[in-house]
Structure 1
Amino acid sequence: MEAFAPDLSTYALLTGVAVLTGFVDAIAGGGGLVMMPALLGAGLPPHLALGTNKLQSVFGTSMACWNYWRGGLVDWRHNWPWVVVAFAGAAMGAWLVQQVSPGALGYVIPVLLLAMAAYVILSPRMTDEDAHIRLTRGKYAPVAGAIGLYDGFFGPGTGQFFTASLVALRGQGLTRATANTKLLNAATNWASVGMFALGGKMVWLLGLSMAGGGMLGGYLGSHFAMRHGARIIRPLIIVASLGLTARLIWGWFAG
């Protein structure tokens, strides 16, 4: 098992960052490319950073999911097959990333995120109105599984991928798609946490401290999204997608 011993200032700084990422994730996703550089910059080895990030993220995502469910926007009975396949995909991805380097994904993800941002900008269907369903519930399951696999393997941008696919392929209004994204993302995060824990890739005390910040951010962000709906979610998804892409491209040049 890899070792890392953060000091008290590191705990405080990263817990503060977790509040911000929990808030952003609850609305638009994309907190991972804020949190991952913060963890790496604090000195965590890459696999420990990935595992600890999942540990802190799962609590904020679950808090946001619970809030959306209380608001009547999450339909568990309808979505449970996607939850199962997304969970399985994430477990596989988290196992794979512990076997190989995820570096090559850095060249693929900016293209995917830019395409998703372009879809949000150009599509008139990114509203709170439900639209035409392009894939049946069964045919959407492989999409959920593939996004889950990606989340377990690397993760940043998962929320945007789930939301955009639910809008484009399942015809869901943007606020409802954002709420169901939290359900699917909670499943993928719990699967990833289990696999990283089994592999000994966690800094438990740091991750749980950050989880408190993530829960606060997730609670505030989900309430904010339900109050303001698509008119705030849509621009935040665009900003988050372009920001994640810029951060990844900068990483190419910064080495």
Structure 2
Amino acid sequence: MEVSLVSIIVIIAAGTAAGFINVVAGGGSLITVPTLIFLGIPPVMANGTNRIAILSQNALAVGRFRQKGYFPWKAGLTLGITAAAGALAGSMIAVEISGELFSKILSGVMIMVLILTLLGNKRKQAGDEIIRRWWLLVPVFFLVGIYGGFIQAGVGFIIIAAFSLISGTNLVMTNAIKVMVVFLYTIPSLIIFIINGEVAWIAGIALAVGNATGGWLGAHFSVQKGDKWIKVILTVTVLAMAVRLFFFS
């Protein structure tokens, strides 16, 4: 699929915003997937293309945790492989549904994830690094994989909530496991989209460049004072895109 130079610039800008938002608030896919759709990329292909940026962003995050010497390999691999199995099923569902139905589902998910984003600062940080209740975490992460393989948007909030409610694991450990889980399940998910011809490579690479840039900016600048404004902008943007997707897709 051909992508114009103007579209590439817009995609890089959207990816930069998403990468920044992912660091300071979360929910960057709420920006990137609708942007791809509005630029003329079919909804299911936009869903698949977004996985390139997700894969690269989480690969970099895994590397950062390794460099810091803080990485729970056992938990990351165990739950990541479990989620990867679920992602195969979720991705196969995603490539089979119509673009119109996907747009409407995405619209609803955007609203729900936006609510989680706005309430994110009210989440309590769990107490320690011990992972408890493996017997419940494993099947839950299989379901997380199905969701992530299907639509991806907001999966980080679901993972954080799962660890907080089930295991009581602290936020640093949770984030370390989260990036490994998302990285691992995105691999089979992306393969399914590629096999079905649902990836626009040029757009995906541009998106990955933007995500990396935005993530770097978010990690290197103090954003505490700007957090409220970011959430205002995110709210307005997501609501406008959700309405557009639901009623005019």
The answer, yes or no, to whether TM exceeds 0.5 is: yes
Residue 201 of structure 1 corresponds to 198
Q: Note the C-alpha offset of 1:63.
A: 1.0
Code of the residue aligned with 1:6 in structure 2: it is V
Distance 1:158 1:218 in 2: 17
Residue 60 of structure 1 corresponds to 57
Tell me whether 1:250 sits opposite 2:248 in the alignment. Answer: no
Q: Note the C-alpha offset of 1:145.
A: 1.3
Code of the residue aligned with 1:113 in structure 2: it is V
Distance 2:240 2:169 in 1: 29
| Counterpart pick for 1:142 among 139, 143, 150 | 139
- Match runs of 1:118-133 below 5 Å: 120=120, 122-123=122-123, 125-126=124-125, 129-130=127-128
The alignment of Structure 1 onto Structure 2 pairs a total of residues equal to 244
Distance 2:229 2:71 in 1: 21
Relative to structure 1, the CA distance from residue 168 to residue 245 in structure 2 (aligned partners, 3 Å threshold; closer, same or farther) is farther
Q: Note the C-alpha offset of 1:138.
A: 3.0
Which has the larger displacement, 140-149 or 182-191?
Answer: 182-191
Matched residue SS, 1:172? coil
- Match runs of 1:103-252 below 5 Å: 103=103, 105-106=105-106, 109=109, 112-113=112-113, 116=116, 120=120, 122-123=122-123, 125-126=124-125, 129-130=127-128, 136-221=133-218, 223=219, 246=239, 250-251=243-244, 252=246
8 Å Cα contact 2:26/2:156 also seen in 1? yes
Tell me whether 1:81 sits opposite 2:92 in the alignment. Answer: no
Relative to structure 1, the CA distance from residue 70 to residue 37 in structure 2 (aligned partners, 3 Å threshold; closer, same or farther) is same
Distance 2:172 2:193 in 1: 31
Distance 1:160 1:237 in 2: 17
Structure 1 portions without partners, runs of 5+: none
Matched residue SS, 1:96? helix
Instruction: Map Cα deviations across residues 202-245 of structure 1 (whole Å, 9 max, x no partner).
Output: 11122123222222333444x459x99xx89x989987996787
Instruction: Map Cα deviations across residues 18-75 of structure 1 (whole Å, 9 max, x no partner).
Output: 1221232245431111001110111111121111111122111221222123223321
Relative to structure 1, the CA distance from residue 236 to residue 181 in structure 2 (aligned partners, 3 Å threshold; closer, same or farther) is farther
Distance 2:92 2:67 in 1: 33
Distance 1:38 1:248 in 2: 8
Tell me whether 1:41 sits opposite 2:38 in the alignment. Answer: yes
TM-score (normalizing by structure 1): 0.79
8 Å Cα contact 1:120/1:238 also seen in 2? no
Distance 1:192 1:20 in 2: 24
Code of the residue aligned with 2:113 in structure 1: it is L
Structure 2 portions without partners, runs of 5+: none
Relative to structure 1, the CA distance from residue 250 to residue 113 in structure 2 (aligned partners, 3 Å threshold; closer, same or farther) is same
Instruction: State the Cα RMSD in Å.
Output: 3.4
